[in-house]
Structure 1
Amino acid sequence: MRYFIFLQCCFFMCFVQAQAPYGAIRGVWVTAQDSVLDSKTNIQKAVDNCKKAGINNIYVSTWNRGRTLYPSAIMMERFGIAIDPRFGKRDPLKELIDAAHVENIKVHAWFEYGFAAASGDSGAYLLKKYPYYAAIGLDGKGVEKNGFTWMNAFHPLVQNFVKSLVLEVVKKYDIDGIQGDDRMPAVPSTAGYDLYTVAEYKKEHNRLAPPANHLDSNWIQWRAKRLNKFGKDLYQSVKAAKPNVLVSMAPGIYPSSLQDYLQDWPTWLREGYVDYVIVQLYRYKLDEYEKILQETIQRVGGKKDRLYAGVLIGLGDGYRIKPELLKGMLELNQKYDLPGEVFFYYSALPKLGKVLKRQ
């Protein structure tokens, strides 16, 4: 009986590998709030824990609260701060890549903050030095949402700044992939009322100003297409620099991703300027998880082999998923033939252990 189950598992894994172009991913996000990057010892311990839990991909925060988590020549030139000061003269990104690659674990540079400049006061210096970087709402004030202060994702100079950070990592490191999330490419749908974006809109609409209703469907689509264009350019630029570096995105659930952050990620998949998406299917009940999983699968059409589930296993406020719930979510992912999942986030991983592995 055990041998039969083993053969079933082997068949499933081979089937996934054959069908999904990027294979069976079992990943985890490492945030800047984790203590993982604080020392080489912590990094090695985290890699060991990931190996024991069957993790084969690590998505590590690389851009957070207006700071890079690696020594950046671009940040040094523009702002005089090469790396988040907590890391001193270390290079935690390289240390993680080196340790993970020894264990055949892939590492992806996760540009966690994307077009979000700041959270609270941290990172606010970006907009103080370059005020035109700021996203502007209908009231003429800077855009804030969910505790984040945002940059103008439509402005070409801001886009070039963010892209330059991504390409710096791609060219400098033996990285396996780069990743954006619900903040790249993204901006709150209340944004777009700055002088540059309004002028661009008027050029295409007989000098008419954008609608005052930020949820106007045509206004939503016009801005989303601008972000789509950036995403396509970013994808092509990464591939031109290093063709083997993967480009993944971890957006929110559609269509709220479009309505709230102008992220039209089904188009990214359909038009081929993202290798795969990890949708944040963050739910606290199994029936709700299955419902949103079914809806998301319908959104991707024939691209299900490029869809991975983002699974919430813990938060900084003390939430930890119950093993029974996690097991149920993993079983649903298998039931619907998803090629894998990525867990948010690492701090909850050590205590969950073998539960994270698919059976």
Structure 2
Amino acid sequence: MPAKKEKKGCGCASIPISLILVLLGVGYWGFMQRDTLLAHLNIRQFLPNNQQHQQQPTPSNPQPPTPTDLTSTPSPSASVAASPLEPSPTETPTPNPQASPLPTTPQPSPSPQTPWQKKEIRGIYLSRYQATNNATEKMIRERVRYYRAQGINTIIHGVWGNGCTMYPSQVMQQTFGYNSCPNEFQEQWLEWLIDEAHKQGMEVHAYFEKGIKIDKNSPIFDRAIAQRWIVPGVDKTYAGIDHYLLDVELPEVATFFKKILVEFVQKYPTIDAVQWDDYLGYHADLPGKVDRTTHLTNFVQQMIADMKKANPAVSFDLCHHNPYWSKRYFAADWKNWNVDRAFIQVYNDDNFQQELDYAENYAGVAISDQQLYRLKELVNNSKIKSILVFPSSGKPEEAAASIKKFTSINQ
């Protein structure tokens, strides 16, 4: 018999067609479900077309998978990772909330303020000539720094007094033929004072000392008498000196003062405030018993309005007797003057406690250097917002040193 021939081929012809169709269907189903199968097998990371997933940042402090993680079915959120809406790999990853913050250098906490330092204004008065006569720039700047070292934050310096200015004034020149009080000063003295104070974080308030009063030593005294600028009588409010009051009801006198004040706030635009005191008032004992309250109120209101129009940044302050005494004995109804701040002047100990009741309701209190023993009481009174000290002895440096000594108990 001839040798039996072996059949060539795979023998596929002998496979039933139905089985072939089943295998093709399973293969097609597997192809369509490959993402799900790969996710179960956790081998997507090895596929070449999955490099973008390898670039995603690895969370800090990764935790080992739990048994539940290994066996659970991926949640619907798992498919979001492959969505076209997922963030670009270049975006900054959200920090892990469990990550420890980087160490930082601790900042020293500021020292708590003492009761003295909490006062809004801790001021000292420097009367006329105390910084102007023969004062160099170096001297003026050193004095400012000295007062700051004593705990002072405001210098209230005389710029006017006895009918004339302590700085060169065009208004004085045009009115009287000379531009200031007799004085030996460098024209920049006030500019240096303001500049250094501001560098030290302090303020300068211009003190219109003696207000509308003059004495026989005033360079304008003879002119005022000749032109009848003086109201009748002598003001003997303070023993030892006779004062004469300029009549602000006269248009030429009122205009002179308004021009002086406007000129000042324009000439020194960075001044922080101007302050007038109880010399802005007519004593009740003047002859004739004339009530000048209304005239004085109208004058001051207009003067303040003119100043604010020229330089609205400057505060108009007043240091006067309490409102009752001011109106009753000095025709000074200052509650209606539109002042920015009012300080109650208590330069003697008569009715001191009663005066404090007023001071607590206004900007603060003014005392003399003879009353520094009261500083502890005033400093510890939180209702007293500011404290001003007038060196009646004429020695402001010594007064400032005493202020520091009396307030050191609260440091």
TM-score (norm 2): 0.63
Range that drifts further, 89-98 or 54-63: 89-98
In the alignment, the residues of structure 1 paired with residue 236 and residue 112 of structure 2 have an alpha-carbon distance, to the nearest angstrom, of: 52
Shift in alpha-carbon separation, 1:144–1:78, aligned structure 2, 3 A: farther
Question: How far apart are 1:98 and its partner, in Å?
Answer: 2.0
Amino acid at match of 1:50: Y
Q: Which of 357, 367, 380 is 1:294 aligned to?
A: 357
Question: How far apart are 1:275 and its partner, in Å?
Answer: 0.6
Question: How far apart are 1:339 and its partner, in Å?
Answer: 1.4
Shift in alpha-carbon separation, 1:357–1:159, aligned structure 2, 3 A: farther
2:261 equivalent in structure 1: 166
1:331 equivalent in structure 2: 380
In the alignment, the residues of structure 2 paired with residue 189 and residue 85 of structure 1 have an alpha-carbon distance, to the nearest angstrom, of: 32
Q: Which of 288, 293, 297 is 1:224 aligned to?
A: 293
1:343 equivalent in structure 2: 389
TM-score (norm 1): 0.72
Amino acid at match of 2:355: I
2:130 equivalent in structure 1: 34
* Alignment gaps of 5+ in structure 1: 17-23, 194-211, 298-303, 314-319
Amino acid at match of 1:294: D
SS at match of 1:74: helix
In the alignment, the residues of structure 2 paired with residue 39 and residue 8 of structure 1 have an alpha-carbon distance, to the nearest angstrom, of: 34
| Pair 1:267 & 2:336 matched | yes
Amino acid at match of 1:136: P
Pick the structure with more helix per residue: 1
In the alignment, the residues of structure 2 paired with residue 8 and residue 55 of structure 1 have an alpha-carbon distance, to the nearest angstrom, of: 14
> Larger radius of gyration, structure 1 or 2?
2
Range that drifts further, 346-355 or 25-34: 346-355
| Pair 1:282 & 2:378 matched | no
Q: Does structure 1 conserve the Cα–Cα contact (< 8 Å) formed by 2:132 and 2:185? A: no
Amino acid at match of 2:244: T
In the alignment, the residues of structure 1 paired with residue 223 and residue 214 of structure 2 have an alpha-carbon distance, to the nearest angstrom, of: 7
Instruction: Quote the sequence identity (%).
Output: 23
Q: Does structure 2 conserve the Cα–Cα contact (< 8 Å) formed by 1:135 and 1:143? A: no
* Alignment gaps of 5+ in structure 2: 1-107
Q: Which of 260, 269, 274 is 1:178 aligned to?
A: 274
* Aligned 1:252-263 pairs, distance under 5 A: 252-263=321-332
Once superposed, what is the RMSD of the aligned Cα atoms? Answer: 3.0
Query: Larger relative CO (CA 8 A, sep 6+): 1 or 2?
Result: 1
In the alignment, the residues of structure 1 paired with residue 235 and residue 249 of structure 2 have an alpha-carbon distance, to the nearest angstrom, of: 13
Shift in alpha-carbon separation, 1:68–1:283, aligned structure 2, 3 A: same
1:71 equivalent in structure 2: 168
| Pair 1:308 & 2:371 matched | no
Question: How far apart are 1:277 and its partner, in Å?
Answer: 0.7
2:312 equivalent in structure 1: 243
What number of residue pairs does the alignment pair up? Answer: 292
Shift in alpha-carbon separation, 1:189–1:289, aligned structure 2, 3 A: closer
Q: Which of 121, 140, 143 is 1:25 aligned to?
A: 121
Q: Does structure 2 conserve the Cα–Cα contact (< 8 Å) formed by 1:279 and 1:309? A: yes
